């Protein structure tokens, strides 16, 4: 039976790498899919991993009807066996509903990848809707690590190396950015609560 599967985890835990692996495995078996993404670190219409792998994708922009896009592809004679959706946390709830319709009405497997909560530990609307609708939720087993060595469970936004807790929910950035830029760092809950990043810790020691 086709499924809507949500693969979740913090930043830096291999979500995009797994998305690319699933695409490789299925295309090697002669299956064809559509890859959607939103605001990837590599730019518009790209699905990239921090290991340096990248492939072309369809940019799922604000207001785009993902279900209608797939139906148009099918009507044009293109074979579509599955959908892969990276950065799914950035999608609107109605776009998640469209993915569920692709499973139920078109019989497609949909593999969605995203982080669950933002830098304030609040659920992204897209992730919340996936939790509500997904047939299966998979937490990635590759554990990102906090600077202290503990398992990282939270995403922190940093400016100048200092953690910030206010601002727009979506600001595109990445881990390992220069300290003076807006970036992100994965932290354990304790250090997220105390707003202790790797930079702030190095200053105090």
Cite the active site residues. Answer: 87
Query: 13, 140 in Cβ contact below 8 A?
Result: yes
Q: Encoding tokens for residue 99?
A: 């993915």
> How many CA atoms are closer than 13 Å to the CA of 105, on its beta-carbon side?
11
Is the backbone of residue 91 left (phi > 0), alpha (psi -120 to 50) or beta?
Answer: beta
């Amino acid at each position: 039976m086709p499924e809507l599967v949500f693969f979740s985890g913090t930043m830096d835990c291999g979500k995009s790498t797994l998305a690319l692996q699933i695409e490789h495995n299925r295309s090697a078996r002669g299956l064809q899919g559509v890859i959607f993404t939103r605001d990837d670190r590599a730019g518009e219409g790209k699905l990239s991993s921090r290991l340096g792998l990248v492939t072309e994708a369809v940019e799922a922009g604000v207001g785009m009807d993902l279900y209608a896009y797939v139906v148009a592809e099918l009507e044009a004679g293109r074979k579509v066996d599955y959908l892969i959706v990276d950065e799914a946390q950035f999608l609107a709830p109605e776009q998640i509903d469209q993915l569920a319709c692709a499973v139920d009405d078109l019989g497609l497997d949909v593999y969605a990848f995203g982080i669950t909560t933002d830098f304030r530990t609040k659920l992204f609307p897209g992730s919340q809707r996936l939790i509500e609708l997904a047939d299966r939720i998979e937490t990635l087993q590759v554990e990102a690590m906090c600077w202290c060595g503990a398992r990282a469970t939270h995403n922190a936004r940093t400016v100048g190396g200092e953690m910030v807790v206010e601002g727009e929910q979506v600001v595109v950035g990445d881990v390992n950015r220069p300290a003076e830029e807006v970036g992100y760092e994965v932290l354990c809950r304790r250090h997220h609560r105390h707003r202790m990043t790797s930079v702030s810790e190095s200053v105090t020691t």
